């Protein structure tokens, strides 16, 4: 009899515990006032959009008093800029915005985004985020965004071409010198000496992303983001510029902005820095490529560094519903949503605790993605990033064509940037 009573008590305690646990969660949700928040994100096709639509439905189910209005934006950041400017004029700025990295500096400097530091201080899961996911959203001591969508450029190579050249596919280059040596062993020329297959793809124009990675590997700060001053007129930056352009004679010239036209994408290069989208295209086009593609570790000279673009969740500075918006951002950064994005739309994870699970989804590729994301940094976060991009492209092209030495080109664009900024900011 006593055993039956004890068993009944245990059942009641368990039931009550579950009841109060669930009601506690419900009460926590109800602490947030009813609101309708606006969420804007750039569209990237049916599958991508479907994920975000489903995520919003899940959030609204958890928080029935909060409605999320979705606006799908154009993919091009210039068009997004126009939409944001119009929203400011009409007092219709999004509460939560999936921002390109470039906007952290350009719009953060104008006070468009809320500082997320007060919210992050109270978030117990902040420590699980990769440093790069937080660093990309920092600007002048404030936190204007949290990176959720890293887009690293990975040194990808063809194992079949390695074998053809007598190189071991299991031993890719890890340093600048090895990259150079491998490039010249892998290059293929016709009888006239013209390159018909690059050893390593070297862009003729629009090469800023690869150049930035090499400059940082050399140890250059490039831009002092806290002071918003140039910091690339030094031997380290010049060495990177010299190293990259010195290998042009073993590469087919191409435009670094035209992703589908890279020689590597057409089978006409042995090594190249490409992004996850480009890798996915190659694998989708030819299933046999899964055995032919391999991924080198992050290169190192004086430091390990990789180029990694990012999208971030930001909050509107004038949002009337900041607590509700922060709850939505936390939901989107949760482990469950992060793994769902990884599985459904191939967005890498930015939580340390999920790295092993993510790697298991595709061990060969995802292991590289995690490393490149960890060591990754995108374009400098400044209020004048577009000006920097314009002039660093110019410096590269002048050196590539032999019109200037690396140091001459860097000094010249440094003066040009400062002159243009004086015209804009008067300083």
Per-residue pLDDT, 427: 57
Q: Token pair for residue 40?
A: 């804007």
Which secondary structure element, helix H or strand E, spans residue 308, and what is its range? strand 306-315
Query: Domains in the chain, please, with CATH?
Result: 35-151+309-377 (3.40.190.10), 153-308+382-425 (3.40.190.10)
Judge whether 155 and 299 are in contact, CB under 8 Å: yes
Q: How far is CA 30 from CA 16, 52, 289, 336, 407, in A?
A: 20, 23, 51, 22, 61
What percent of the chain has pLDDT above 70?
A: 93
Task: Find the mean pLDDT for residues 122-146.
Answer: 96
Q: Confirm if 183 and 247 have CB atoms less than 8 A apart.
A: yes
Is the Cβ–Cβ distance between 306 and 153 less than 8 Å? yes
pLDDT tens figures, 374-419 = 999 999 999 999 999 999 999 999 999 999 999 999 999 999 999 9
Q: Residue 30's pLDDT band (boundaries 50, 70, 90)?
A: low
Mean pLDDT over 94-123 rounds to 95
Residue range 345-355, pLDDT digits in tens = 999 999 999 99
Q: What is the mean pLDDT of residues 239-254?
A: 98
Helices (H) and strands (E) in the chain, counts: 18, 15
pLDDT of 7 above 60: no
Three-state secondary structure readout of 192-229: CCCEEEEEECCCCECCHHHHHHHHHHHCCCEEECCCCE
Residue 277 structure tokens: 């989208």
Report pLDDT digits (tens) over 262-297: 999 999 999 999 999 999 999 999 999 999 999 999
Number of neighbours of residue 203 by Cβ within 10 angstroms: 27
Name the pLDDT band for 193 (thresholds 50, 70, 90): very high
Between 427 and 78, whose confidence is greater?
78
Q: Report the distance separating Cα 340 and Cα 334, nearest Å.
A: 10
Torsions phi, psi for 114 (to 5 deg):
-80, 150
pLDDT in tens, 12-28: 444 444 333 333 333 44
Task: For residue range 144-155, list pLDDT tens digits in order.
Answer: 999 999 999 999
Closest-CA residue to 337 (of 97, 148, 179): 148
* 145/113 Cα distance (integer angstroms): 8
Q: Is the pLDDT of residue 1 over 60?
A: no
Find the helix or strand (DSSP H, E) in which 290 lies.
helix 289-292
Q: Which pLDDT value is given to residue 424?
A: 83
Comparing CA positions, the residue from 130, 137, 154 lying closest to residue 350 is 130
| Percent of the chain scoring above 90 in pLDDT | 89
Average pLDDT over every residue of 303-319: 97
pLDDT at 47 (0 to 100) = 86
Q: What is the pLDDT of residue 278?
A: 96
CB 260 within 8 A of CB 242: no
Closest CA to 156 of 265, 302, 312, 46: 265
For 272, other C-beta atoms within 10 Å of its C-beta total 25
Cα separation, 146 vs 136, in Å, equals: 7
Q: How many CA atoms lie within 13 A of 386 on its CB side?
A: 9
What average pLDDT does the chain have?
A: 92
Burial of 118 from C-beta contacts in 10 A (0-12 / 13-18 / 19+): exposed
- In this prediction, residue 75 carries a pLDDT of 87
Which pLDDT does position 292 carry in this prediction? 98
pLDDT of residue 425: 80
pLDDT number for residue 411: 99
């Amino acid at each position: 009899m006593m055993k039956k009573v004890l068993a009944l008590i245990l059942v009641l305690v368990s039931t009550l515990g579950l009841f109060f646990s669930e009601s506690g969660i419900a009460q926590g949700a109800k602490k947030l006032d009813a609101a309708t928040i606006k969420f804007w994100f750039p569209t990237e096709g049916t599958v991508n959009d479907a994920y975000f639509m489903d995520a919003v439905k899940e959030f609204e189910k958890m928080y029935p008093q909060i409605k999320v209005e979705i606006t799908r934006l154009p993919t091009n950041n210039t068009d997004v800029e126009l939409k944001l400017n119009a929203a400011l004029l009409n007092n219709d700025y999004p509460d939560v915005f999936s921002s390109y990295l470039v906007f952290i500096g350009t719009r953060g400097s104008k006070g468009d985004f809320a500082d997320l530091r007060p919210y992050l201080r109270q978030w117990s899961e902040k420590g699980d985020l990769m440093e790069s996911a937080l660093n990309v959203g920092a600007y002048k001591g404030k936190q204007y965004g949290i990176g959720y969508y890293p887009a690293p450029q990975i040194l990808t190579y063809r194992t079949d071409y390695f074998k053809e050249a007598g190189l071991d596919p299991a031993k890719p280059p890890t340093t600048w010198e090895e990259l150079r040596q491998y490039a010249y062993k892998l290059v293929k020329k016709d009888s006239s000496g013209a390159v018909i297959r690059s050893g390593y793809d070297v862009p003729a124009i629009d090469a800023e992303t690869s150049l930035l990675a090499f400059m940082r590997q050399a140890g250059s700060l490039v831009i002092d983001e806290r002071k918003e001053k140039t910091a690339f007129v030094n031997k380290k930056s010049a060495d990177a510029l010299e190293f990259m352009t010195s290998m042009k004679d073993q590469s087919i010239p191409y435009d670094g902005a035209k992703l589908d036209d890279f020689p590597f994408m057409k089978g006409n290069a042995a090594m190249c820095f490409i992004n996850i989208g480009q890798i996915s295209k190659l694998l989708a086009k030819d299933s046999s490529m899964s055995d032919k593609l391999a991924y080198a570790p992050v290169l190192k000279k004086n430091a390990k560094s990789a180029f990694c673009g990012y999208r971030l969740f930001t909050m509107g500075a004038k949002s009337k519903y900041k607590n509700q918006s922060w709850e939505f951002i936390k939901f989107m950064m949760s482990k469950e949503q992060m793994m769902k994005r990884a599985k459904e739309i191939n967005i890498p994870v930015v939580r340390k605790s999920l790295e092993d699970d993510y790697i298991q989804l595709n061990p060969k590729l995802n292991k590289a993605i995690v490393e490149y994301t960890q060591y990754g940094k995108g374009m400098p976060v400044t209020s004048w990033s577009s000006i920097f991009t314009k002039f660093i492209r110019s410096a590269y092209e002048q050196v590539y064509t032999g019109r200037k030495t690396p140091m001459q080109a860097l000094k010249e664009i440094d003066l040009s940037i400062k002159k243009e900024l004086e015209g804009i900011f008067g300083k």
